[in-house]
Amino acid sequence: MRIFYRLCKMSSIMPPPQSLLKPMNFPRKSLYGPGPSNCPPRVLAACALPLLGHCHPEFFQIMDEIKEGVQYAFQTQNELTLAISGTGHAGMEAAVCNMVEPKDVVVVFSAGLWGERFADMAERHDADVRVVEKPMGAVFTLDDVKQALDHHKPSVAFIAHSESSSTVMQPLEGIGDLCKSHNCILIVDCVASLGGAPMFMDQWNIDVLYSGSQKVLSCPPGAAPISLNQRARNKLAARKTKVRSFYLDMNWLGNYWGCDGQPRKYHHTGPISSMYALREGLSMLVEEGLEECQARHQKCANILYEGLEKMGLKPFVKNKAHRLPTLTAVEVPDGIDWKKVSQYAMDKYKIELAGGLGASAGKVWRLGFMGYNAQPENVRTTLRVLQEGIEWYRNSPQSKL
Ligand SMILES: *Cc1c(COP(=O)(O)O)cnc(C)c1O
């Protein structure tokens, strides 16, 4: 070691970092927050399979199967359906950069962090962004949507189906029809709801829909399902300017994913292991059935609501019909430090009780039971741990904490 160090000094190479000579530290944790959720062993095993080349026929077949799985999860026949190589944000960026051209009027229905983020991204593409804002926890009515479309006459509109900062699930029926009649492209974010709540891309006339892999699909983060319908493809084809991201250009991606009937060309190296995992996560969804999977999430949500009520705790979203079945914000009672209670749950039980996000930070816990984690016993355990943590906090003198 000493000789090696001297050698390094002589040639002035940085010494090797000692930290990398130790094994990685990763305790097993129960990830009952807004994602990532725990991966089932089957998905983890898929990640460990030997690599194929990113343009080998066997990998193309896996990509084709992923496409079919995404079409099923989205309930769409759209040909241009694939998985972006990146997390949910990459799906969001892809939706923005392919649909938005400079000076396009973009209406963003915003009642939480995801509306804010979308507006930020659209601004980066020089759109004329009009934010229609509501307080966290609120949903937009068809009347709100119609008024905004009449007033702003946008060419693109965004709304989050799963506003995971407030844990609201925005009703979508009718919004797509309104956008269509106003000649406006509707982009919807369903990252936190896909698989856990009904989604009908075609029936609901959604033009662009994107999601993520690490929530209900219980895969590692790194693949973002996305689909564009014919209206969205027409807007893409009619662009006067190039898509500003090469990596996320749906023309190129559609070719790599075999969606345009042309021979597939190298665009980028598909993240092989992430795609194996997504293929496995989608297989599990298909085996269980979409409706059964959604029912399992709703059942867990109902057990959670009942348990919270017994404990005198209140979900942040008052109207049951507007709650996300996958993720629930729970109001932190007066006099309780949410962070200390979460720390208690992590230290003692390795259970993640996540905090709020954006404007809900500090005011709520967000409890998520997604995919592999959506099991009644996990919900019951979490309820017990939350109760124990709150009692522990109430009974501990502040100075001892
Ligand atoms: C988690 C989430 C995202 C972002 O996904 P990343 O994988 O973190 O990039 C986007 N939208 C919603 C609604 C989410 O819940």
Using one digit for the tens of pLDDT, what is the confidence trace for 217-231? 999 999 999 999 999
Q: 359 lies in which domain range?
A: 290-399
Domain end call among 287, 322, 357: 287
Same domain, yes or no, for 172 and 224?
yes
Same domain, yes or no, for 267 and 352?
no
Same domain, yes or no, for 147 and 216?
yes
Same domain, yes or no, for 183 and 195?
yes
Which residue's alpha carbon is nearest to atom 8 within ligand 1?
A: 88
Domain end call among 287, 304, 329: 287
Is the distance from the beta carbon of residue 212 to the nearest atom of ligand 1 less than 6 Å?
yes
Has residue 237 been placed in a domain? yes
Same domain, yes or no, for 248 and 390?
no
CATH number of residue 102's parent domain: 3.40.640.10
Same domain, yes or no, for 274 and 376?
no
Q: How much is the pTM?
A: 0.95
Same domain, yes or no, for 280 and 297?
no
Q: What is the residue-level pLDDT of the chain in tens, covering all 401 positions?
A: 455 555 555 679 999 999 999 999 989 999 999 999 999 999 999 999 999 999 999 999 999 999 999 999 999 999 999 999 999 999 999 999 999 999 999 999 999 999 999 999 999 999 999 999 999 999 999 999 999 999 999 999 999 999 999 999 999 999 999 999 999 999 999 999 999 999 999 999 999 999 999 999 999 999 999 999 999 999 999 999 999 999 999 999 999 999 999 999 999 999 999 999 999 999 999 999 999 999 999 999 999 999 999 999 999 999 999 999 999 999 999 999 999 999 999 999 999 999 999 888 899 999 999 999 999 999 999 999 999 999 999 998 663 55
Is the distance from the beta carbon of residue 224 to the nearest atom of ligand 1 less than 6 Å?
no
Give the other-Cβ count within 10 Å of 252's Cβ: 18
Same domain, yes or no, for 310 and 206?
no
Has residue 147 been placed in a domain? yes
Query: How much distance in Å is there from the Cα of 189 to the middle of ligand 1?
Result: 8
Please give the tally of structural domains in the chain.
Answer: 2
Same domain, yes or no, for 318 and 304?
yes
Angle at 308 between CA 384 and CA 302, to 5 degrees: 105
Query: How much distance in Å is there from the Cα of 123 to the middle of ligand 1?
Result: 19
CATH number of residue 387's parent domain: 3.90.1150.10
Query: How much distance in Å is there from the Cα of 4 to the middle of ligand 1?
Result: 45
Has residue 33 been placed in a domain? no
Same domain, yes or no, for 239 and 312?
no
Same domain, yes or no, for 79 and 201?
yes
Question: Is 366 annotated in some ligand binding site?
Answer: yes
